[in-house]
Structure 1
Amino acid sequence: MDAISFGTDGWRATLDTFTEDRVRIVAQAVADHLTAAEAGETVAVGYDAREHSRGFADAVSETLADNGFDVLLSERDCPTPVLAWTVRDRGLAGGVMITASHNPPEYNGIKFLPGDGAPATPEVTDDVESRLAEPREADERGGVSEDTFTTRYGQHALNFSGADLDGLTVAYDAMHGSGRGVTDNLLDAAGASVEALRADLDPEFGGGSPEPSAEKLGDLVETVTAGEADLGFANDGDADRMAVVTPDRGFLDPNLLFAVLYDYLLESETGPAVRTVSTTALIDRIAESHGEEAVEVPVGFKWVAQGMADHDALCGGEESGGFGITEHLRNKDGVCLALVVAQAHAERPLDERADDIELEFGEIHQGRVSVDCPNDRKAGVLDSLEGDLPDTIAGKGVAEVGTKDGFKIFLDDGTWLLIRPSGTEPKLRVYAEATDDDRVDELLAAGRELVEPRV
């Protein structure tokens, strides 16, 4: 049980640690949590496209059923947001998802979703962790039945997005993940002509990790920039995140994508936006121009989702490509949001929208590097920075320091540097935002020099 630890978004580990026995222990803890909370009698279970995910999902389902819960088990691997929306839509007690998201195939993971479909708060995951115990059986066993979660979800996503994509050609890269046959089918149902890339089931993800970053989407970028498609989308392994490719810009920076999305939503709606500390200040400028506010929260969509609820926000997002719209689901969703963004492009090209935003609010450039750091050293490194930050960094004076999540250091020239611990890997993250790439590189180098000697 000591090997089980919930990070930013559930428990993830390599398969030498992530075993069926431990998965059953977590499932028992979920069952005990739901029983204590009197949350309900039915739980949904989903899983991603990894080789062992269905087997782990079966183990979770059996354990929950042994504890008296009825289980709805996805008939095939499914996107995490589909499971999350299903839990909320059907008024279920909760959901359990087997996924390691964008991690490479030697990883797997498990996350618990409460009845509202939002990410579990630390209070919930702490309670689940406190109940870790060997599986046991209740007096009366529940049943396990397979269900197709995507049908009702798909009808909702099409209606919610209002997508009318007739005449639009879209390239979609599933990265061999659970978005295949879901995101592309919905884009097709909305009227787009869809060219699917890496849309076959491959539990090894082509030998890499299903991370929709610029360097992993070369074929998609080439397809769109060569004029073979009007727009490109990609999902990560469990399709809760997305990337967008446009004809002029190629891979669209997720920060700028969030800005375009928020600006588009504000054409017909009102409300604040919630962003993480690592996400661009462009969101703040757009919000202010509309008489709204941008709410800053720590990294992790559980904090974004909580902020969306606390501030009656229109939407929320993070710089890693996770976005959610409150009215749809207080969770990140790379499937429904692909339809929303495609509709925005159908009304006015995303390149034009991005150009106008940069013209009005200024360009932003951002970068991130990682510094290897054992988990048991992270707190010590951050503690050593407390009270020991220099007065100048990369040639500019320190104007302000925020401590909402690590150290966010604002400099006199309006740029910023963020140093924080990863919640999923033994690393420290260093982020920087400036108006050009050269300045970003200077800031990242300065951040690395500040951190590395302390690890």
Structure 2
Amino acid sequence: METIRFGTDGWRAPLEEFTTPRVRMVGQAVATYLADEGLEGPIAVGYDARETSRGFAEELTRVLCANGFDVLLSDRDRPTPLVAYAIVDRDLAGGLVITASHNPPEYNGVKFIPHDGAPALPAVTDAIADRLAEPDPLPEDDHGTAREVDFAEPHADAAMALVEGITGSADLSELTVAYDAIHGSGRGTTDALLERAGASVKRLRCERDPDFGGGSPEPAAQNLDALIATVTDGDSDGVVDLGIANDGDADRIAVVTPERGYLNENLFFAALYEYLLEDESGSVVRSVSTTYLIDRVAEAHGETVHEVPVGFKWVARAMAERDALIGGEESGGFTVRGHVREKDGVLMALLAGAMHAEEPLDERIDRLLEDHGTVVQDKTSVDCPDDEKDRVLSDLEDEIPETVAGTTVEDVNTADGFKLLLADGSWLLVRPSGTEPVLRVYAEASDAERVRELLEAGEELLEPLV
């Protein structure tokens, strides 16, 4: 049981730790938790494209059914946000998804989604962890039933309706979009939604490969060379207007434009928020690691920014509390008001396409930066075992410098790790990853050279402590 730890977004582990008996224990814990909470409805079970995911999903299904719950099992690997939508749409007790998201193929994971469709908060995951136990089946006559369902079509209907309501039209018939699934669960889902909206779609890595081509299904710039080349250079059939990629379970999005190539997620977030504010009003929720460009957009429109720790569960909670228009993180996870409070890379693909169809994204961002100033952000990682993270951060608290890279530290934000706010408006953040054995170091400034200096200073600050 000590091996099963719920982090930022569920429990992930290498396959030597993520075993069938432990997955069954998680299934029993969820069943016990739901029963204790008096939730008796069906449970959704989804899974990603990894070799082991379908089998683990079937194990969860057996345990849940043996505890008296009916189960709706996805008919194939599908994106996590489709399961979250199904929970709300069908008024289910909750859901489980077997996925390790962007982690490499030798990992797997499981996340529990409560009945509101938002990521589980620590009070819930702690309650589940407290109930970890060997499966305890009811008499066979009391078992629930399982059936396979298609989670894709209802989600697609909702996404089309939502984007049409926001933009007035979800017509992408003038666009050619390149879509890179990185062999993950977005294939046959995100590309199908774009085609339904009328786009001509060029597919890259849209065949299932449980090994993701030998890498990780992480939609970072260094993993998207072919997509970037397709959009910036065009292909044999002509111009490509926009590029979209998803991570392994398609809850995150990456965008590629003809002029910029890989579009920094912070810029996409700021552009999308400003776009939504053309017709709507509302505050914005961003994580502590996300750009202050969001704050400039909000201020220009008389709106409020709500800063939360990293982890979409905190974004989702604040969106509910504040009725925010949009919430997101610099890692490419976003959702909007009127949708489930779970990050959704499939919906965002359609919304990005609609925004681009109205005005090219490069032009939008040129204007955004002209109006609000240039902001550059980057991040790096420092290896640190999970069981050492608390000690390192405790030691760091006593080592906060008065200056960083020659600039005075004016304030320290401890919402999530240590965010050093500097006199020149730049900042440096050090926080523990909730999914990998590393410490994350983020920096934001007005130019790339300054960001590089800050990141180096952050690494130097951590080096004697790790």
TM-score by length of 1: 0.99
| The one of 334, 337, 360 aligned to 2:348 | 337
SS of the aligned residue for 2:177 comes to: strand
Q: How does 1:4-83 map to 2 (within 5 A)?
A: 4-83=4-83
**Partner residue, 1:91:** 91
Q: How does 1:289-304 map to 2 (within 5 A)?
A: 289-304=300-315
Structure 1 residues not aligned, in runs of 5+? none
SS of the aligned residue for 1:224 comes to: helix
Residue 416 of structure 2 is aligned to residue 405 of structure 1: yes
Structure 2 residues not aligned, in runs of 5+? 165-169
CA deviation after TM superposition for structure 1 residue 138, in Å: 1.6
**Partner residue, 1:180:** 187
**Partner residue, 1:355:** 366
SS of the aligned residue for 2:464 comes to: helix
Q: How does 1:55-454 map to 2 (within 5 A)?
A: 55-139=55-139, 140-162=142-164, 163-227=170-234, 228-454=239-465
Counterparts of 2:78 and 2:346 in 1: how far apart (Å)?
Answer: 11
Counterparts of 2:454 and 2:104 in 1: how far apart (Å)?
Answer: 29
Counterparts of 2:448 and 2:155 in 1: how far apart (Å)?
Answer: 40
CA deviation after TM superposition for structure 1 residue 158, in Å: 1.2
SS of the aligned residue for 1:96 comes to: strand
CA deviation after TM superposition for structure 1 residue 369, in Å: 1.0
Post-superposition Cα deviations, 1:350-393, rounded to whole Å, max 9, x if no partner, equal 10110111001111111111111111211111111224311111
Q: Percent identity?
A: 61
Counterparts of 2:383 and 2:175 in 1: how far apart (Å)?
Answer: 44
Counterpart of 1:149, as a letter, is F
CA deviation after TM superposition for structure 1 residue 156, in Å: 1.2
- Size of the aligned set, in residue pairs, is 455
Counterpart of 1:193, as a letter, is S
CA deviation after TM superposition for structure 1 residue 40, in Å: 2.5
Counterparts of 1:198 and 1:191 in 2: how far apart (Å)?
Answer: 21
Post-superposition Cα deviations, 1:169-226, rounded to whole Å, max 9, x if no partner, equal 0000010000001100110010100001000010000000000000100110111111
Counterparts of 1:79 and 1:95 in 2: how far apart (Å)?
Answer: 13
Post-superposition Cα deviations, 1:390-433, rounded to whole Å, max 9, x if no partner, equal 11110001111110000000111110000111111111111000
Counterpart of 2:93, as a letter, is A
Counterparts of 1:349 and 1:286 in 2: how far apart (Å)?
Answer: 19
CA deviation after TM superposition for structure 1 residue 326, in Å: 2.5
Post-superposition Cα deviations, 1:420-451, rounded to whole Å, max 9, x if no partner, equal 11111111111000111110000000000001
Counterparts of 2:182 and 2:189 in 1: how far apart (Å)?
Answer: 13
Post-superposition Cα deviations, 1:138-185, rounded to whole Å, max 9, x if no partner, equal 231000100011011111111111211111100000100000011001
Post-superposition Cα deviations, 1:79-130, rounded to whole Å, max 9, x if no partner, equal 0000000001110000000000000000000000001110001100000000
Counterparts of 2:33 and 2:347 in 1: how far apart (Å)?
Answer: 30
SS of the aligned residue for 1:454 comes to: coil
Counterparts of 1:158 and 1:423 in 2: how far apart (Å)?
Answer: 33
Which stretch shifts more, 377-386 or 342-351? 377-386
Counterparts of 1:104 and 1:135 in 2: how far apart (Å)?
Answer: 29
SS of the aligned residue for 1:136 comes to: coil
Contact 2:99–2:110 (CA under 8 A) maintained in structure 1: yes
Counterparts of 1:397 and 1:450 in 2: how far apart (Å)?
Answer: 15
Counterparts of 2:213 and 2:299 in 1: how far apart (Å)?
Answer: 44
Counterparts of 2:49 and 2:261 in 1: how far apart (Å)?
Answer: 28
Counterparts of 1:62 and 1:415 in 2: how far apart (Å)?
Answer: 52
Contact 2:162–2:338 (CA under 8 A) maintained in structure 1: no
Counterparts of 1:276 and 1:447 in 2: how far apart (Å)?
Answer: 19
User: CA RMSD of the aligned region, Å?
Assistant: 0.7
CA deviation after TM superposition for structure 1 residue 252, in Å: 0.3
Q: Which runs of 4+ in 1 moved over 2 A?
A: none
**Partner residue, 2:167:** none
